[in-house]
Amino acid sequence: MSEKSPSKKKLGFVGVVKRLVPIVVRATPVFFISFSVLAILHGVSWGFETMMQQRFFDAATVFAQGESTIRSVLVALAFLGGANILCQVLNGVVNFVPEVLGQKVIGRLSKGIHEKMARLDPKCFEDTDVLDDINKALQGQNNALWFVFMLCAIFTFYVPYFIFMGWYLFTLKPILVISIVIIFIPAFLTQIVRTKVFAKLEDKSAPKRREFDYYESCIVSREYFKETRLLGGYKYFKKLYLDTLDTLQKLKFQATLKTNLLELLMSFLTVLGFSTIFLMLFDAVMKGEITVGAFAAVTNSIGLLYSIMEEVVCRHAGQMAQSMGSITNYLNFLDLEERQGKVQEVPQLGDVVLEGVSFKYPGSEKYAVKDVSFTLKHGETLAIVGENGSGKSTLIRLLTGIYLPDEGRVTIGGVDTRDLPLDALYRNTSAVFQKYQRYLMTFEDNITISDAKKTFDDLALDDACRKAGVDSNGRSFPEGYKTMLSREFDGVDLSGGQWQRVAIARGFFRDHQLIILDEPTAAIDPYEETRVYNRFAEISKDKTAVIVTHRLGSVKLADRIVVLKDGKVVQVGTHDELIARSGEYHRLYKSQEKWYVEDAEKKKMTEELADSFNLQPSFA
Ligand SMILES: Nc1ncnc2c1ncn2[C@@H]1O[C@H](COP(=O)(O)OP(=O)(O)O)[C@@H](O)[C@H]1O
Ligand SMILES: [Mg+2]
């Protein structure tokens, strides 16, 4: 992944068209072919109607001069009526098709975005530039469909219609064709300026929009709600929210004002061109160069031609220009670098070997992990300890291959993580992270989502729950595994400690060779964490397991302990070895000892109290 995000790449109009059209057309080819055919017929029918108008007016003129019978007028009228009905029918059908099939194309495009996100290098998600790109891409996707649809309409409907009218005017009086150009140029120039202004606007607004969305969620979403109300953060976020809204609106206002003023100026020129055509036509009739029927048909249809031009150039092309910015972002998102491995399968998990591994987060100067070397042996239980911010979680992401090291290398079962595709990396690994998710789904789904393809029965669920210490028969789950775990969907809510055990059960449910607990125990006290980790070490006897914590009392059972400080490994050994030496482990252990004494006492007191009331103690 290069440091610079490719989002800064600018595609011109042609560039966008070349990339976008195949993507959208491939999503539903039938839609585009049928739409194009209908649109061509529609354009031709309009030209045909104009010709029929001329024929009718001419017939009427000749009849008025007493040189023909009423029959020829009626025949001409019948043709005109037929042409008109044809136009109406095709118009209806052409408008109907995109409404019906548009949603389908959007669905297919979304799938593309979702699949792309799954293939992205996970490190991308640490980069705020890339997060902006994703936000912009989602916006661009909806515009993309509409853009291609308009483009299709322009080439299959508007352009054939203009060409036809151009040819028709040319046959009447060649100079008339120039007037079409006079109408066209000012509006065209306006759109070029518009494209630039709105592309710039999109770039400037995306980071602001992200801020705006975040502040809004701080105000309204349930997880923030209690805290922001209670601690008075509500007013603070509301102010930030309104300030960003203000900035966004100002940006939009400036851009719109600029383009609208220009548009106004240019429309004067257009009116001028429009008037020229009438004068020329009038002159031609007076000189007898064209028939009265042609004059009537052209003046009648030139109004239509003008309003269509205005529709295409000012409204459609204008919107297309506006959406160019977000569509470019969509295309650039599709170009983001992916993690592609050469090797398809991790052979067997084997040892994980880190050799001189260093890593920096995108946009950060400081190494989060620096020059780390050690081997995670197959089947061992390894603990990674260190103070907050010492690099434990980063090291986990490196040794599982989620992140690739900037320097050094990580091999899993002898294969460099650089050569492994993401799905192969995840295949044998399970993990529970500090920031685990609370899915608003059933208890069962919350557990089984970690291995969606696995077939399972209640025994498998029981097993995962037992390992994680979840009391699946308890009062918290009135409908057993089918209990809905969310108030939003008429279910129950769990306490922080219960959610956390459910998250651990999810980790156990997934078939794995390697399992990692990265401080999912933050919500519980040190004593309880020790119990969870000890049980975990017991259960993981035949599997490779890594436990991560900043609380040293919890890791005595680990086969080996790696001590991190400022991103570097400062000690490796068993608890007994490390405690016997003076060093970081010893220092940290001494400073934390009181937690265990205090917590053990607290627990004992609670248990005694609970005993006397015959209650179950809960430390969750
Ligand atoms: N997304 C990120 N972007 C920039 N720096 C980060 C990011 N995540 C973590 N860091 C930094 O990397 C260092 C190690 O973090 P981390 O691995 O989370 O530590 P630990 O898990 O031991 O608490 C810290 O200095 C932290 O500030
Ligand atoms: Mg961490």
Ligand 1 pocket member 360 (CB < 6 A): no
* Mutual angle of helices 29-64 and 159-172, in 10-degree steps: 30
Which residues are within 8 A (CB) of 234 and not within 5 positions of it... i.e. 6 or more apart? 219, 228
Q: Topology of domain 437-511, per CATH?
A: Rossmann fold (3.40.50)
Domains 6-335 and 437-511 share a fold: no
User: pLDDT digit string (tens) for 25-43?
Assistant: 887 788 788 888 988 898 8
pLDDT level of residue 73 (50, 70, 90 thresholds): very high
Q: Is 386 in the pocket of ligand 1 (CB under 6 A)?
A: yes
Q: Which residues have a Cβ under 8 Å from the Cβ of 30 and sit 6 or more positions away? A: none
The whole-number pLDDT of residue 616 equals: 43
**The pLDDT of residue 495:** 86
Average pLDDT over residues 445-450: 92
At 367 the three-state DSSP class reads strand
Q: 389: Cβ below 6 Å to ligand 1? A: yes
Q: Which ligand is nearest to the CA of 387?
A: 1
Contact 424, 348 (CB under 8 A): no
Q: Please report the pLDDT score of residue 527 as a whole number.
A: 79
Nearest CA to ligand 1 atom 27: 389
In this predicted structure, the answer to whether residue 425 has a pLDDT above a threshold of 50 is yes
| Nearest of 297, 307, 294, 302 to residue 278 by alpha carbon | 302
pLDDT exceeds 60 at position 618: no
State in Å: Cα 389 to ligand 2 middle: 7
The mean predicted confidence, pLDDT, of the chain is 84
Look at ligand 1, atom 5, and give the residue with the nearest C-alpha. 361
Instruction: Find the mean pLDDT for residues 312-319.
Output: 74
With a CB cutoff of 8 Å and minimum separation 6, the contacts of 317 are 187, 188, 191
Residue type, 86: L
- Classify domain 6-335 by CATH number: 1.20.1560.10
| 125-139, 200-214, 365-379, 541-555: which is most confident | 365-379
User: In the prediction, which pLDDT does 108 show?
Assistant: 79
Closest CA relative to residue 367, chosen from 400, 406, 418: 406
* Ligand 1 atom 12: residue of nearest CA: 368
| Higher pLDDT pick, 275 / 384 | 384
Write the residue with the smallest CA distance to atom 16 of ligand 1: 391
Q: How far is the CA of 390 from the centre of ligand 2 (A)?
A: 8
Q: What is the pLDDT of residue 221?
A: 77
391 lines ligand 1 (CB under 6 A): yes
Q: Measured from the CB, is residue 128 less than 6 Å from ligand 1?
A: no
- At residue 318, the pLDDT reads 73
Which residues does 460 contact at the CB level (< 8 Å), separation at least 6? 454, 509
pTM given for the model: 0.67
Q: What sections of 354-473 are H helices per DSSP?
A: 392-399, 422-427, 443-448, 458-468
356 ligand 1 Cβ < 6 A: no
What's the pLDDT score for residue 216? 86
The residue contributing the CA closest to ligand 1 atom 13 is: 368
Among 87-101, 189-203, 300-314, name the one with the lowest average pLDDT. 300-314
Superfamily of segment(s) 343-428+515-593: P-loop containing nucleotide triphosphate hydrolases (3.40.50.300)
Question: Where do the structural domains in the chain lie, given as residue ranges?
Answer: 6-335, 343-428+515-593, 437-511
| Ligand 1 probe mutation, 359, 390, 402, most atoms within 8 A of CB | 390
- The residue whose CA is least distant from atom 14 of ligand 1 is 391
Spatial separation of the C-alpha atoms in residues 151 and 155, rounded to whole Å: 6
pLDDT digit string, tens, across residues 130-174: 777 777 777 788 788 888 888 888 888 888 888 888 888 888 888
- Asked if pLDDT for residue 497 goes beyond 90, the answer is no
Supply the pLDDT for residue 7.
Answer: 46
Q: Where do the H-state alpha helices sit in 417-525?
A: 422-427, 443-448, 458-468, 496-509
- Report the C-alpha gap between 46 and 56 in whole angstroms: 15
What pLDDT was estimated at residue 393? 92
pLDDT (tens digit, 9 = 90+) per residue, 590-608? 888 777 676 666 666 666 6
Atom nearest to 397 CA in ligand 1: 17
User: Atom 11 (ligand 1): residue with closest C-alpha?
Assistant: 368
* CB of 170 sitting under 6 A from ligand 1: no
Say which residue, 240 or 135, is predicted with more confidence.
Answer: 240
Ion ligand 2, residue ranges at CB < 5 A: 392-393
Kindly report, residue by residue over 182-216, the tens digit of the pLDDT.
Answer: 777 777 777 778 878 887 888 888 888 888 888 88
Q: What is the mean pLDDT of residues 4-22?
A: 74
